[in-house]
Structure 1
Amino acid sequence: MFGMLFAAWRYRFFIFSSIKTELRTKFVRSKLGGLWMILHPLSQVLIFAFVLSAVLSAKLPGIDNQYAYAIYLMSGTLGWSLFAEIVNRCLTLFVDNGNILKKLVFPRIALPLIVTGSALINNSLLFVAILAIFGVLGHIPGAEVFWLPVLMAVNIALALGLGLALGVLNVFMRDIGQIMPVIMQFLFWFTPIVYMANIIPDQYRSWLELNPLIPIVTGYQNVLLYNHAPDWTSLGTIALVSIALLAFALMLFRKASPEMVDQL
């Protein structure tokens, strides 16, 4: 495992340049350029906010702001978008780059690191856009916003651990790549992003404890909306689980790497 990390460090300039090239080529022919990275999640937020706030007249307890639901949605969306992008891209990462893995000699761990770096930049740009919208809506997050890097680190560890493990398994069992988008849809709606957790019936509320994303997304909402520090008890547990999952994924990746090229 330490050998992979050392190899990634030796190829750090290759990783950085690949991230830069990926972001540049993705929008080279687009007039709006990098704005497309934030327009899609923000458009989803606006749709949900309009339906919940205007059509259904939903109210958010504890927040005296007519745009409270939009703020709540953007806070949760910021955490979800980082997780979803890393998992979804890692899922088909090795299958999509099969030709590169066969023809070029470089540490294969560089591929998920490139994906993670690109997703982190996209998410950071989304965060800046959300802060600007918060200002327009009259909501200014407090000093608790400086806990956000900790939340992002836990989020990345969980997403990369899950995505890397699934990406390796998808090389050998392609059905995983077909079923995971469906599971991700269930996971999105099983996470309190577009609704409050307290509206779930009591008989189903215990199921939320099985969702590792809830402490992370709730932490985003606490920091950005309620100006509270994250719940360190639940977040600490998920951090340990994320680290363990990431370590397992790296071990699986190291052992399966020689066979992956043959399968591809």
Structure 2
Amino acid sequence: MGMFSELYRYRSFIISSIKNDLINRFSRSKLGGLWAILNPLSQVAIYALILSNVLSAKLPGIDNKYAYSIYLMAGLLAWNLFNEVILRSLNMFIDNGDLMKKMQFPKATIPSIVGGVNFVNNILLFLAMLIIFFLLGHGFSLNILWLIPFSLLLLIFSLGIGLILGVLNVFIRDIGQVIPILLQVLFWFTPIAYPISIIPEQYRYLLKFNPISYFTGAYQEILAYNRVPNISELLLLLTIAIIIIGFGVFLFRRASAEMVDVL
């Protein structure tokens, strides 16, 4: 609770740091913040062009000739938030080593700033995707509001994993090299670029051991199929997110002093 009170006390610093990070990242670019949107959208275009003809007939429930692109964008929106938070978290303590050594610096603000920056980027990507959805003739219902709790849970879950990996990477630098590779593997083991229906039934149970597949599946239910996601999964994800972020905070608190020495 002391950590959360610290975050509240330094809330103005966190907000201003998020704003400055977003401005500085694109300040020298002519397109500015559009690069944060163009990169994932270019992935959508590539996958859609290559795979849409193969999978377009295997997406029942979406009455649109661009069904595959819609399904893909929904899954990539969830994956992008998860992936970016993890990648930015890997080196967040290493990159801020000088600040970590200052006794009065609120160390808990570092992961909060990382999470906030990536959440804002994801919101901008979501708004860009909404425009594309409407251009493709895909509408929405009030079920889209379910995206709010799922996106917040996804942020907490991702930040929890990022916090754990960020701490471990201070002591074992190989983690920073291995995790990007594992993320690429995990992407293809998550039903994002393909529907669950093409996975043989005897292997579908393996998805239960992939927490991110619950999030991508919920995003696809909400955005692609305009359906209410599985509420029991929401409770499951809430439990998983609390456990992960709780362990991440515990590890961070216990290792803070040792991290300062190593850095």
TM-score, scaled relative to structure 2: 0.96
Residues 1-264 of structure 1 aligned to structure 2 (within 5 Å): 2-54=1-53, 56=54, 58-59=56-57, 60-103=59-102, 105-264=104-263
CA distance, structure 2, for counterparts of residue 64 and residue 134 of structure 1: 13
1:127-157 CA-to-partner distances (Å, cap 9, x unmatched) read 1001000110000111100111101111011
CA distance, structure 1, for counterparts of residue 66 and residue 56 of structure 2: 11
CA distance, structure 1, for counterparts of residue 140 and residue 107 of structure 2: 40
What letter is aligned with 2:178?
Answer: I
CA distance, structure 2, for counterparts of residue 57 and residue 230 of structure 1: 23
The Cα of 1:31 is off from its aligned counterpart by 0.7
CA distance, structure 1, for counterparts of residue 102 and residue 251 of structure 2: 22
CA distance, structure 1, for counterparts of residue 84 and residue 120 of structure 2: 11
CA distance, structure 1, for counterparts of residue 55 and residue 165 of structure 2: 40
What letter is aligned with 1:114?
Answer: I
Secondary structure class of the residue paired with 1:141: coil
Structure 1 residues 227 and 7 mapped into 2: Cα distance closer, same or farther (>3 Å)?
A: same
Structure 1 residues 57 and 209 mapped into 2: Cα distance closer, same or farther (>3 Å)?
A: closer
The Cα of 1:7 is off from its aligned counterpart by 1.0
1:86-143 CA-to-partner distances (Å, cap 9, x unmatched) read 1111111111211222247321110110011101110000010010001100001111
Structure 1 residues 169 and 50 mapped into 2: Cα distance closer, same or farther (>3 Å)?
A: same
Secondary structure class of the residue paired with 2:101: helix
What letter is aligned with 1:245?
Answer: I
* Aligned residues with identical type, % of pairs: 51
TM-score, scaled relative to structure 1: 0.96
Q: Is the 8 A contact 2:56 2:67 kept in 1?
A: no
CA distance, structure 2, for counterparts of residue 138 and residue 177 of structure 1: 41
The Cα of 1:57 is off from its aligned counterpart by 5.7
Secondary structure class of the residue paired with 2:33: helix
What letter is aligned with 1:174?
Answer: R
CA distance, structure 2, for counterparts of residue 68 and residue 45 of structure 1: 13
CA distance, structure 2, for counterparts of residue 235 and residue 185 of structure 1: 25
1:147-183 CA-to-partner distances (Å, cap 9, x unmatched) read 1110111101110111101111111111211111111
What letter is aligned with 1:259?
Answer: E
CA distance, structure 2, for counterparts of residue 204 and residue 186 of structure 1: 17
Runs of 4+ in 1 over 6 A off after TM superposition: none
The Cα of 1:215 is off from its aligned counterpart by 1.4
Q: Is the 8 A contact 2:99 2:105 kept in 1?
A: no
CA distance, structure 1, for counterparts of residue 55 and residue 90 of structure 2: 38
Note the residue ranges of structure 1 that are not aligned, 5 or more in a row.
none
Q: Is the 8 A contact 1:168 1:256 kept in 2?
A: yes
CA distance, structure 1, for counterparts of residue 52 and residue 118 of structure 2: 30
Note the residue ranges of structure 2 that are not aligned, 5 or more in a row.
none
Tell me how large the CA RMSD over aligned residues is.
1.2
